[in-house]
Amino acid sequence: MALPLIQFQIMNSVNSLTGYSGFQLLMGRSLRLIPPLLPIMEENQTTEEVRATELIEWLKYDVEDAKNHLLEAKCLQVFYANRDRSPEDSFKIGECVMLSTLHWRQEFTAGDPSHITKFIPCFDGPYKIINSMPEFLAYTLELLNSPNIFPTFHALQLKHFTKNNALLFPSWEHISPGPIMTSDGMEEYAFDRIIDEQCRGRGRQYLVCWVGYGPEED
């Protein structure tokens, strides 16, 4: 018996995100369960009118008390949710970060249940930040090899990139690939992308990023 009243209160409550109640968006106006009573002189009130007025005032008090309890419950939920939550990391434009591969692993297993992702690293990168929206904790990455992916991600999907210290961890140092020897004895290297170009005499020169080499080798 209480479900219709609960549904009415939910539809008649103002949503904090939209600023409107469900009835306001559905019907153009908010409804009232009991219409307001006109003030009646106390000497003219009957016993039924006095009881009706007391009942309405009692219902109003219960509704306001329930709203206060709901607000208190929301505040407690926010408090306990944020009590052990560390602040989100902040990043700057030009900084390199690692990107979570959670969504990629989910897509990989969704196509075929036999796919196993335990050997796929949890983070990929590094990627350079080219734009930031700190008010939304959103950052845009430079994804040159993934043009079909929307490059903006939440800070929860990113973490700071720490370059390896070759003196402390020499075995973790990335080994650059050697050249490819052609049949005529020429050395060839695979390039990742062309960074810049300029005129040189009658020809042009290109600044190239090589596969497996850092920016110091461009």
Distance CA 52, CA 19 (A): 32
Q: Clarify whether residues 39 and 9 are in a common domain.
A: yes
Q: Cα dihedral angle (7, 9, 12, 15), rounded to 10 degrees?
A: -90
Q: Clarify whether residues 127 and 149 are in a common domain.
A: yes
Q: Clarify whether residues 74 and 104 are in a common domain.
A: no
Q: Clarify whether residues 49 and 24 are in a common domain.
A: yes
Q: Clarify whether residues 8 and 78 are in a common domain.
A: yes
User: What pLDDT sits at residue 41?
Assistant: 54
User: What pLDDT sits at residue 12?
Assistant: 79
DSSP string, the chain: --HHHHHHHHHHSBPTTTSSBHHHHHHSS---SSPPPPP--GGG--HHHHHHHHHHHHHHHHHHHHHHHHHHHHHHHHHHHHHSPPPPP---TT-EEEEE-HHHHHHHHHH-TT---TTS-SEEEEEEEEEEETTTTEEEE--TT-TTS--EEEGGGEEE-----TTT-GGGSPPPPPPEE-TTS-EE--EEEEEEEEEETTEEEEEEEETT--GGG-
Residues 6+ positions from 183 with CB-CB distance below 8 Å: none
**Which of 83, 111, 131 is where one domain is finished?**
83
User: Alpha carbon 23 to chain centroid distance?
Assistant: 30
User: What pLDDT sits at residue 78?
Assistant: 84
**Which of 16, 51, 83 is where one domain is finished?**
83
* In a domain? residue 90: no
Q: Clarify whether residues 41 and 73 are in a common domain.
A: yes
User: What pLDDT sits at residue 139?
Assistant: 92
Distance CA 45, CA 43 (A): 6
pLDDT in tens, 136-178: 888 999 887 666 778 899 888 898 888 878 788 877 777 777 7
Contact 126, 96 (CB under 8 A): yes
- Residue segments in the chain with a per-residue pLDDT below the cut of 50: none
Both tokens of 129, joined, read: 């930040």
User: What pLDDT sits at residue 109?
Assistant: 80
Give the count of domains, the chain: 3
Q: Clarify whether residues 76 and 7 are in a common domain.
A: yes
* In a domain? residue 89: no
* In a domain? residue 88: no
Q: Report pTM.
A: 0.46
Q: Clarify whether residues 154 and 179 are in a common domain.
A: no
Contact 139, 132 (CB under 8 A): yes
Give φ, ψ of 144 to 5 degrees.
Answer: -70, -35
- Domain of residue 153 covers 96-160
Percent of the chain with pLDDT over 90: 3
User: What pLDDT sits at residue 43?
Assistant: 62
Q: Clarify whether residues 128 and 192 are in a common domain.
A: no
**Which residues are registered as beta bridge partners of 208?**
194
